[in-house]
Amino acid sequence: MNDMTNAFSGPGPDAVFAAYLADGRFMLQRCDDCKKHVFYPRVLCSHCGSPKLTWQPASSQGTVYSTTVVRRKTEQGGDYNVALVDLSEGPRMMSRVEGLAPHEVTIGMDVRAKIIDEPRHGKLLVFMPTQGGGA
């Protein structure tokens, strides 16, 4: 019953994830039953349906699964990257890779998560190349 209470009462997974992020922490849910990780945050495990999801710190390591350059006029801010990153824990997320030109991001590139302050969204998860990206 405790698990049910945790899953179905109090701030929901969206709010918890956002609160962690606002605190500078990238946290992922892991299923106590099937042991798989879940992203985006959910009430039930999307692999097995279990409500027993526990927050754990993310490794922050990932690999670029696909990438594109959104072409935009220079006066509107110029081209930018949108990438899909496979986290080492398994789930995939949309993000962007920073620290190099948008077209230099390549599929298979190892990347590391970084939380930045973004004027429009507050804290935002982006990724940097692991190579030369520092700790």
Partner 1 sequence: MKATDLRGKTAIVGVGLGGLPSAPNRSSMEIQTEAVHHALTDAGLNLSDVDGLFTGSSHAFMPALSTAEYLGIRPKISDTTMIGGSSFVGHLLPAAMALQYGLCDVALICYGSNQGSGFGKLKSMSEPQTYEAPYDPRHPITSYALATARHMHQFGTRREDLAEVAVAARRWAQLNPLAFARDDLTIEQVMASRMVNDPLSKLDCCLVTDGGGALVLVRSERAKDFPKPPVYMLGTAMAHWHRQISSMPDLTVTAAAESGPRAFAMAGLAPADVDVVELYDAFTINTLLFLEDLGFCAKGEGGAFVRGGRIAPGGSLAVNTNGGGLSCCHPGMYGTFLLIEAVQQLRGEAGARQVDNAHIALCHGNGGVLSSQVTALLGDASTL
- The piece of 5-13, 25-33, 52-60, 88-96 that touches partner 1 (CB under 8 A) is 88-96
80 binds partner 1 (CB under 8 A): yes
46 binds Zn ion (CB under 5 A): no
Q: Token pair 């990206």 is at which residue?
A: 133
28 binds Zn ion (CB under 5 A): no
103 binds partner 1 (CB under 8 A): yes
7 binds Zn ion (CB under 5 A): no
CA dist list (Å): 47 to 42, 43, 131:
11, 12, 32
> Binder to partner 1 among 82, 100, 114, 115 (CB under 8 A)?
82
What does the alpha-carbon distance between residue 92 and residue 113 come to, in Å, rounded to a whole number? 13
Q: Pick from Zn ion, partner 1, none: which does 92 bind, CB < 5 to 8 A by kind?
A: partner 1
- The piece of 1-9, 30-38, 47-55, 77-85 that touches partner 1 (CB under 8 A) is 77-85
DSSP 67-93: EEEE---GGGT--EEEEEEEETTS-EE
Q: Write out the two tokens for 93.
A: 């997320």
Contact call for residues 56 and 102 (beta carbons, < 8 A): no
